Amino acid sequence: MARRLFILFVLCLAMIQVSNGQISSTLNDFYDNFRRNKAQGGNAVSNIMGSPHENSEFEKGDIYTTLKQHYSGILLRYNIFDNQMEFRNPEGEVNIISPPDIIDSVIIGESKYIYLPFISGSKETKSFFKVLTSREPFLLIKMYVVFKEPEPPGGYKEAVPATFVRMQDELYLTLSPGEPVKVNGKKEFLEFFPARKDEIDDFIKKNKIRFSKPEEVAMVMEYIYTLK
């Protein structure tokens, strides 16, 4: 009888964890699941100028999976060029979280990232987006880094080393859940909210919002959330 009561108690605890949204998992579980997926290149970019990462330093963060697992305290960084979430294991190896489709969200420091499909040119692909707002429709950033080949010396020109170059971020809105749509400036942004277009435009003009500054566009979204 006592054994049955103990089993029932354990099952109840498990059900409570699931009902609360996420199941906490250990770091050992995480490393066991993902230590086989080494990052391409790893640390072998020291001879290249610039960085493929948003931040080259690893920072402690959290991972939430589509299976409702929660891993905390993992050293993470975002590789923009390879569009991969990298982590460093206790042995110092740099690995990636693969496949990325298992990720519901990643928290690195104060920043949140989600992995979503979107239209690039004429085809659908998937990418990590940085989330700037806390409510739907989310304002997202799509980051880009390009690789420039080295240039040999010639004439009066010195040699140019291979370089990773950070490009202009792009803004997206999740107008439909899970479907980011690119924002191509103020005019198109206003067309997404036809019923409150004039009010939003007044707010943009009054606060001198620049659409080249994602954090300022996030201010506009916070204003839009207050509109009834």
Residue 38 has pLDDT above 50, yes or no: yes
Q: For strands 163-166 and 145-148, give the pairing.
A: antiparallel
Q: Give the confidence band of 46 by pLDDT, cuts at 50, 70, 90.
A: low
pLDDT number for residue 3: 47
165 close to 50: Cβ distance less than 8 angstroms = yes
Q: Give the confidence band of 122 by pLDDT, cuts at 50, 70, 90.
A: confident
User: Whose CA is closest to 22, among 75, 62, 80?
Assistant: 62
| Assigned token pair, 190 | 């206003």
Once rounded to an integer, what is the mean pLDDT over residues 44-67?
88
pLDDT tens sequence across 177-191: 778 999 999 999 999
Per-domain boundaries in the chain: 19-143+170-183, 185-228
Residue 14 has pLDDT above 90, yes or no: no
Please return the burial class of 191, using the count of CB atoms within 10 Å of its CB with bins 0-12, 13-18 and 19+. exposed
Question: What does pLDDT average to over the chain?
Answer: 85
pLDDT number for residue 30: 81
Report yes or no on whether pTM surpasses 0.85. Answer: no
Residue 39 has pLDDT above 80, yes or no: no
Residue 52 has pLDDT above 90, yes or no: yes
Once rounded to an integer, what is the mean pLDDT over residues 87-97?
90
Give CA–CA dist 196/199, Å, rounded. 5
pLDDT tens sequence across 123-153: 889 999 999 998 999 999 999 999 999 888 8
Residue 36 has pLDDT above 80, yes or no: no
Q: Give the confidence band of 10 by pLDDT, cuts at 50, 70, 90.
A: very low
List, as one string, the DSSP characters of the chain. -HHHHHHHHHHHHHHHHHHTS-EE--HHHHHHHHTT-BPSSTTTTTTSBS-SBS-SS-EEEEEEETTSEEEEEEEEEEETTTTEEEEE-TTS-EEE-SSGGGEEEEEETTEEEEEEEEEETTEEEEEEEEE--SSSSPEEEE--EEEE--B--BTTBPPB--EEEE---EEEEEEETTEEEEE-SHHHHHHT-GGGHHHHHHHHHHTT--TT-HHHHHHHHHHHHH--
76 close to 84: Cβ distance less than 8 angstroms = no
Residue 2 has pLDDT above 80, yes or no: no
pLDDT number for residue 186: 96
Give CA–CA dist 121/118, Å, rounded. 10
